[in-house]
Structure 1
Amino acid sequence: MAGSKKPVSVLVVIHTPQLGVLLLERARFPGYWQSVTGSQEGDEPLRITAVREVAEETGIACRPADLDDWHLSNRFEIFAQWRDRYPTGVTHNMEHVFSLCVPANTAATLAPDEHAASRWLPWREAAAACFSWTNRDAILMLGAGAPQIARGGRLSLEI
């Protein structure tokens, strides 16, 4: 049976000022490490989707203004193991990138049905640990200063 998940999502890279990055391990796919991700529900603004997903997946409370919107979108093919969540025929997703800077001692409370573990890693190690190329590239951009560039309204980094 086809699902009803909307093929529009957010990626939220949670990091410390020192560029430690929070990664979450997917509960149903051991070894799949990622940042916070999640689909837009209805017509909710993407920034609200990001706030909701951060709270649901990590227990970290943030406000829309706490997020950096990178004004960067990635279109990618949905992995076969997740396609049944989407309407029949949907094969691609549009992901919008955000980041959230938190204090170094911020703890994550995981949603056990979604994630089995969490860990903080230096940005280069975090990028190498991600299974998703879009997540990896966003973390590499973080290390290159992307959120500061994005605040200026235009992201033009090439990695």
Structure 2
Amino acid sequence: MPHKIPESVLVVIHTADLEVLLIERADRPGFWQSVTGSLDRIDEPLLETAARELFEETGIHADGETVRLHDWHLSNVYEIYQTWRHRYAPGVTHNTEHVFSVCVPRDIPITLAPREHLQYAWLPLLEAADRCFSSSNAEAILHLPRHFPCNQP
């Protein structure tokens, strides 16, 4: 299996009234997060990565019309948890994460990738931030109000 590219996306899914969707990792029960995922290839556009990961992990299709991804033009560099470093090339210790959000109706159907996630929960903003295991994910959720109006028609 090829090494993961140390560049990824974080997609915060929320409603117009700032309920946030979190998903629980299958490989680490109790670890809650927004949608995340690495580039499949070094030249994959970030928006394409965000749309692909959003669909793969939740079944939500960002069609650009009714469901639009919003690029925050914000990147976080963080140290990769030791438990996941084996997925990267030897010596790679940090990842660059690009932040996106998407505003969806609360009743949108969610279809989890069962190999990746166990369950999902819609939570109020502060509760969602508190539940995230990743500090960059929690911070993005807390900054969500700055990225309004809701990007849904």
- Corresponding position of 1:22: 21
The CA deviation at 1:13 is: 0.1
* Amino acid across the alignment from 1:37: T
- Corresponding position of 1:121: 123
SS in 1 for 2:112: coil
The CA deviation at 1:148 is: 3.5
The CA deviation at 1:64 is: 5.0
Q: TM-score, normalised by structure 1?
A: 0.88
* Amino acid across the alignment from 2:54: V
The CA deviation at 1:120 is: 0.4
The structure richer in helix per residue is 1
The CA deviation at 1:104 is: 1.3
- Residues of 2 paired with 1:134 and 1:101: CA distance? 19
Deviations 1:13-65 (A, max 9, x none): 00000111000000010100000000011111000000000000000111357
Is the CA contact 1:48–1:64 (under 8 Å) kept in the aligned structure 2? no
The structure 1 segments of at least 4 consecutive aligned residues displaced by more than 3 Å after TM superposition are none
The answer on 1:33 being equivalent to 2:32 is yes
Matched residues, number: 147
| Equivalent runs, 1:126-137 vs 2, <5 Å | 126-137=128-139
Q: Superposition RMSD on alpha carbons, in Å?
A: 1.6
The answer on 1:109 being equivalent to 2:111 is yes
- Corresponding position of 1:90: 92
- Corresponding position of 1:154: none
- Corresponding position of 1:57: 57
